Structure 1
Amino acid sequence: MTARVGVITFPGSLDDRDAARAVRLADAEPVPLWHAATDLSEVDAVILPGGFSYGDYLRAGAIARFAPLMERLADAARGGMPVLGICNGFQVLCESHLLPGALTRNASLHFVCRAQRLRIENAKTDWTRAYEEGQEVVIPVKNIDGCFIADPETLEELESSGRVVARYVDVNPNGSLNDIAGICNEAGNVVGLMPHPEHAVESLTGPSSEGLGFFVSVVQRMVSA
């Protein structure tokens, strides 16, 4: 049976079609999910894509967390459903308290768009099992509110428990504490990633095809479940 991966569209989402394309390249079926929906029964995993949900009014992700589908998604995530938040999706997951910390304005106060080298720190999550721990990949970043922050106790807990999923290498593009580019929850089924793996699934259209592993990983997880 083909894995079905839901891709949520909020008003202001920009990368939902790119995420759906990445899902297809990973041999899964993308399922469009409108933010006002209330049913997740037809999908095996969910992606919250990048963009500017609700125009980033108040702050990035702050309004999207109240979308009707997010209440269902929170319950599903706590029940083990794989969930990936990319860029704005990462912000929504933090605002929804499915992941700790927050994403704030870049240290430079400027929008950053560049090919970025990352190191995969945790290759055991539902979204990173196709990688090797310590593997370096090149994936684009494009954000203005990409600076990950957390209080010292939370930061220490993330580091000591292996919940830092990916880290910036060579250059920290936004000032994130400890060069953190992505984190996960305790179970490893919910991952937030600031860079955009969906823009690195083919060498023709991105700096590499090394982002495809995030989508292949969740398909592998569902096949082996």
Structure 2
Amino acid sequence: MDIDDILREFEESSTNELQASTSNICQELITVVTNERMAPELLPYKASLMNSILTHISNQQQYLLDSHEYGEMNSANGVISSDFKLQLMIVETDVERLSYIVRLYLRTRLSKINKFTIFYINKSNREDDGGGDLLSAEEKEYIHQYYSLLTSLYNNCFLKKLPQILTFLDDSSGGQNMVVAPDLDQFVFVKCTSEASILLHLEDDELELVKNGVYVI
């Protein structure tokens, strides 16, 4: 295999990855992140999509390492074209963009977990019995560790000075629930992406959602 064949193999592999994989995966990820940020409650974790995204990022990072190593070996010989370097820059930009969106997705979910910790611990425990998939394995580990630290902090600061009956963070006696839950009655933005219109049944009315229409509901 000569130099031209090696360069052509690099170019074809990067082009195929960018056109076939990145576009579809990235668009699906953006939709998932948008839905998560717009929803007041925690949405089910997209395990299959996240596995695909992380695998794709890992493959692209390995491709960059191999390509840079190949470029360093052959740059002195003048066989590395400007197009090849440009392709590497495009792949690097794509990896950085996907990594940012992944971090945004996880941070959005963590902010809800931190805000409604006890609520989602209870919900996760109920769904574990029925095979639910609201939280990922890492999120389940995080939420229990976070709750343990939070409980320890509250106990050391002030709960230990109160009567034991007043120290329960999930107490619902006396008509006052201590568990903070997401407000599912707040308004949300909805964008319809379906080709066919969707008829949404509200409490006292009906609303027809058409493609590319944006609604506050």
More helix by share: 2
Same fold (TM over 0.5): no
More strand by share: 1
The interval holding the TM-score normalised by the smaller chain is under 0.3
User: TM-score, normalising length from structure 2?
Assistant: 0.24
User: TM-score, normalising length from structure 1?
Assistant: 0.23
